[in-house]
């Protein structure tokens, strides 16, 4: 589902994580993410995916890192099926 449609039809389903760049992504930032995604049973996996997204965004100067969809497979594996990453053109020299 397009984020724009969710924001319009069900804005209560949109949640944000505010990260202080000095502290980085902390366990406190990630505390409610699994519950908000209705994936509390896969909390460790959800947090690990978010840590990797954050690391990618910081290390590569990403303007955007988007996973859509992230699914729970029949074998109970959480997987990012598709992703989009946009890197700042000015960051290529790094």
> Mean of the pLDDT values across residues 49-70?
93
CA distance 45 to 83: 17
Q: What is the DSSP string of 36-88?
A: HTT-GGGHHHHHHHHHHHHHHHHHTTEEEEEE--EEE-TTS-EEE--EEEEE-
Q: So what's the pLDDT on residue 56?
A: 93
If one compares 26 and 69, the residue with the highest pLDDT of the two is 26
Residue % of the chain over a pLDDT of 70: 97
Q: What is the DSSP string of 28-43?
A: HHHTTHHHHTT-GGGH
| Nearest Cα to Cα of residue 69 among 37, 32, 26 | 37
- In the chain, what are the domains? 3-89 (3.30.470.20)
């Amino acid at each position: 589902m397009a984020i724009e449609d969710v924001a319009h039809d069900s804005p209560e389903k949109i949640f944000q994580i505010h990260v202080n760049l000095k502290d980085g992504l902390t366990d406190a930032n990630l505390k409610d993410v699994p519950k908000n995604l209705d994936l509390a049973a896969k909390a460790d996996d959800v947090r690990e995916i978010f840590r990797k997204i954050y690391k990618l965004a910081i290390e590569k100067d990403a303007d955007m890192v988007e996973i859509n969809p992230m699914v729970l497979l029949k074998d109970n594996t959480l997987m990012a099926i598709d992703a989009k990453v946009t890197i700042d053109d000015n960051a290529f020299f790094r």
